[in-house]
Structure 1
């Protein structure tokens, strides 16, 4: 995806500090990336169905959110043919529990990351995600390569 002129990222996270942290990391990378934000899963779905919005190239989705969890949101996204090709990166705040990993993989996420607390680590993860060839990755998603680390 790195050869695309402008990559559109949508981060859905209920925590304002985490949204700001993500925005700072993207800004520091100086990539040709536009980031938009949603605060919960319902807001994300409304964003995706808004005909005045451009569909994002990549969605980063927090799993622990009020209103509609990331798990519920992911299932809704994958049920709609319009959004099946959008890479969804599941992010989890506190751990890399095997159950969460298997659930997000089974629900159609394309990758899983543990939310870093270090900005340099976050920048490396974002850069890695943005530079991946998602057309190829969408075809051959395997649990062994599901977790993205730096």
Structure 2
């Protein structure tokens, strides 16, 4: 993505501390990025269909959430052609099991990260996601390049 334009990120995570940690990491990168938040999958779905909102450039989606899990949310988003070109980065906070990774990939996520606890690692992951060529990535999505690490 071109850092000259304002990049709109939407993070959906039910943990307030994780949302603040993410916002602090983005701010510390000093990029032209706007971050907005949803606290669960249902709120994200409502956000995307709100005509008064601008569709985000990238969605970071926690998979473990109450009300509507990240898996359910991901499947619902991918059922709508309006949102097919939004890169969705699945975040799994507890593990990186092969089954979970395959399910996430099969459900339409474009990348998968294990939620880092280190601030600098989180910054590196966010920068890496922002700087990816998502037009290419969306065309040739492969399981081998699905997991993003620093």
User: TM-score, structure 2 length as denominator?
Assistant: 0.99
| Residue number in structure 2 paired with 1:73 | 73
For 1:94 and 1:107, the matched residues in 2 are separated by 19
- Gapped regions of structure 1 (runs ≥ 5): none
Distance 1:4 1:46, change over 3 A: farther
Alignment of 1:1-150 (within 5 A): 1-3=1-3, 5-150=5-150
Runs of 4+ in 1 over 6 A off after TM superposition: none
How many residues are matched?
Answer: 150
Conserved in 2, the CA contact under 8 Å of 1:9 and 1:59? yes
Two-structure CA RMSD over aligned residues (Å): 0.6
Distance 1:52 1:131, change over 3 A: same
For 1:118 and 1:82, the matched residues in 2 are separated by 35
Cα offset, 1:23, TM superposition? 0.2
For 2:74 and 2:54, the matched residues in 1 are separated by 19
- Gapped regions of structure 2 (runs ≥ 5): none
For 2:36 and 2:73, the matched residues in 1 are separated by 17
Conserved in 2, the CA contact under 8 Å of 1:2 and 1:132? no
User: TM-score, structure 1 length as denominator?
Assistant: 0.99
SS of match in other structure, 2:68: coil
